[in-house]
Structure 1
């Protein structure tokens, strides 16, 4: 849903909403001469009429760290007065568009509220936020309406005056045009864009008003793909993924937790698989352990969420006459409590100095890798191949676990070795992903095959972990005087699922080996 910046936004604030999150801005910005005249837009992109001009005087103070960390991540934070959406505005890149968080301001508040600062903590690395620019805008806004009265888009004609508070930059003045979708389609925006260009508007060369206010102080964009080695690019992408998904993790988004956790795993895997190629001045063991700490607090939440879904599905799949007692409720109560506690620990971890210190250390690590000698393709491929051979050896050892020990101990040892094999294949998969930009489709194919192999081993391991939890639940139910039959039944089902999963192992292994022969 797109929310207008016109007077209709005021209703959201007068309703005393604490904040609005997840709004996506789809807009285009243009440079226009001082004598530019807005062309007739009726009949273009579904526009049936153009509304009256809404004259606004906007005064915005932009905040950033002393080293402009937010601007480096193309994120803007401002407090704006005037207009119809006064308050704190946090804008972040979202694909080719921008997402926006809005928080109403109170009184003469000049310090960003916690609802905002928490969202940029990963970017700011814990540094204090301070004013870096003041931008005053005289805006004339018009609504472009469809025949049914809905607003296709808003066109804002801005006369801008900027003042840098970060250095001794001179004040700047210019005129620009902005068009933002409200209820219209992207094709309508394309049609309106063509009409504005034909009238003399040019796509803005500067990414934002703030960039123009700061001038040369505005941070340059990081080097694009191909400008740094595949190793440095992979490490940078994982560091950036942690920062990108931090706000979603804080908001309790399960997918963000999953993606941040995967990024930490990829970092740890790369440190282990490519250690000899990484900067010599880095304490890799300590860095690995700090990333492992972050992986762990993310995993407590993620694993609880996944386990809850798995067991809920397992209970629902049983005939009602075989579900004896409050099985679903007991499972939900146990896991909900554990996940809630895990979320508290996770947010506390993200708010800690340990986390921001880790991000600063990752910055230095990524920069040192990018600045170091460019690692040869041959050496990267050799290390990636070693990671796969190491995984193959672990799986072979698991399949040939001695059976002279008592049966249950033999099974436990085999299960442990299969789990270690799974982790080793995951590292081999990440290594294949890393070399894909230089090795092409064969590396991508191998990564896919290793994912399949990893999933087979993962299904087996999941059945073991789930079985252990069901045993714990059965004991709790029995102690509470409940019938534990269903937990035993589900435990048996999980054991069966684990054995069946291993039936797919030979095929998955053959397919992975075939893909590996074509690459290494």
Structure 2
């Protein structure tokens, strides 16, 4: 008997690539096995692993090397645990001669839920008994209770996930957004989806599993705030006003930790840009960032475990559920349909972005560029919510055009914000005891210069990207929405 723990990132990056990562243990520390696409890689462990684990926490070897490009900064964590008992069965003819054998592998999931055993039979005919083996295989296939086994380990893994109920459908059973759905119900459905994401990522943020949990939580908060701003007027006014303020508090609570995460995630790339200094010169700065990040994360966890946060999430869901439970007679006829709302609000948001983009020149102040970035982000979130009611081809094209503009605006924003942050960090290090070496401050100065250069390059690129965005092709895509 062996115990098999299946591992994946929370967003199923391995399963989407038809890869199966398992920790298999029949005793001692076991082994880490990565299978898929015709290849199998195994690393024998010297000590039992601890989950969740980020890439750098996995043992060195071929499995870690193969996982790197797939999982990136995400941690792998158990998705299910199963016990497999394997028996070898001998098949003999009437004279007692061995004609075939088969392996009977019985797998029972134990976590996250217990399942009935899943049995896999693998038949091995004996040399010289091919016909007898074929008759045996034919008889097994004809048995109504025996189905063909999954062709790949990835399919077998999916079968186990399905049996345990771990493959939860999006939306928690709520009806999807449709064109004819009442507008307030459509907005409430989208907002409940964002609330689900906040709840689903909470443990990962608190336990500090990986930086993407906080990123996903923040995106859900930003989408919530944007949708309330752009379409919240179809919901009851008083709850929208009250919870908009609470989500602003939640956004502010998460900002310091995320800003430090971004810096730390970029540090290797930033160090690689140094010319006059060495990457090792940045070590005191990196240690300072990590200490600041630990402090900020502690404050974040305190807020997320507070009564204020739990009241925010629970109360907000109750308000949105009440909107979905409203009868047609109780619903005001003025709210219209989801399609009508999307058409009206998308047209308004598109006009605002296009009008603002047309005013940006090489001499426009940075604050004006940042305002355009915010409006583009709001339009992006509105497009994502309105996807079910838009023409699919036009939606893809408009989103692609908008993303090109957002990428340049994001580079401009990052260059300005992070270069300013470097000055603040340098002052903090100067005031610390002991003070950092001069080489550290020189390296930080070189990083700041590089970020300013990034910002200037983005500003230069912006003119051409804006010309393209305001051109006939993109405007045609936006109108087609």
Query: TM-score per shorter chain, which class?
Result: 0.5 to 0.7
Q: 1:185 to 1:260 in 2, by over 3 A?
A: same
Candidates 369, 377, 390, aligned match of 2:352: 390
Q: For residue 274 of structure 1, report the CA deviation from its aligned partner.
A: 1.1
Matched, 1:292 2:347: no
SS in 2 for 1:274: helix
Q: Identify which range, 279-288 or 258-267, moves more after superposition.
A: 279-288
TM-score between the two structures when normalised by the length of structure 2: 0.62
Residues in 2 aligned to 1:477 and 1:141: alpha-carbon distance in whole angstroms:
59
Map of 2:477 onto structure 1 = 518
Q: How does 1:112-511 map to 2 (within 5 A)?
A: 185-187=153-155, 221-226=173-178, 228=181, 230-252=186-208, 253-277=210-234, 279-319=235-275, 322-323=276-277, 327-370=281-324, 371=326, 372=331, 373=335, 375-396=337-358, 399=361, 414-441=365-392, 442-475=394-427, 480=435, 482-483=438-439, 484-511=441-468
RMSD: 4.5
Q: How many residues align?
A: 359
CA distance change for structure 1 residues 314 and 146 in 2, over 3 Å: closer, same or farther?
Answer: farther
Q: 1:142 to 1:207 in 2, by over 3 A?
A: closer
Q: CA shift at 1:427, angstroms?
A: 0.3
Between structures 1 and 2, the one with greater helix share: 2
Change (3 A) 1:476 1:357: closer
CA deviation vs aligned residue, 1:10-67 (integer Å, no higher than 9, x gap): 978xxx989865222399xxxxxxxxxxxx999xxxx94126x99xxxxxxxxxxxxx
Is contact 2:5-2:81 (8 Å) kept?
A: no
- Compute the TM-score of the two structures, normalised by the length of structure 1: 0.58
Equivalent residues of 2:256, 2:296 under 8 A apart: yes
Residue 268 (structure 1) shift: 0.4
Offset at residue 188 of structure 1 (A): 5.6
Gapped runs of 5+ residues in structure 2? 7-23, 30-46, 53-76, 83-88, 92-100, 125-144, 167-171
Superposition deviation, residue 318 in structure 1: 1.7
Distance 1:347 1:41, change over 3 A: farther
Shift of 1:256: 1.4
Say whether residues 1:23 and 2:25 are aligned partners.
no
Distance across 2 between alignment mates of 1:507 and 1:281: 42
Change (3 A) 1:388 1:189: closer
Query: Counterpart of 2:272 in 1: which secondary structure?
Result: helix
Offset of 1:457 from its aligned partner?
1.1
**What is the CA distance between 1:309 and its match in structure 2?**
2.7
Partner of 2:5, secondary structure, is coil
Closer, same or farther in 2 for the Cα pair 1:238/1:20, shift >3 Å?
same
> In the superposition, relative to structure 1, how do residues 348 and 464 fare at CA in structure 2: closer, same or farther (>3 Å)?
same
What's the CA shift for 1:363? Answer: 0.9
Conserved 8 A contact 2:274-2:443: no
Which stretches in structure 1 are left out of the alignment for 5+ residues?
28-39, 55-82, 92-134, 148-176, 194-202, 209-219, 403-413
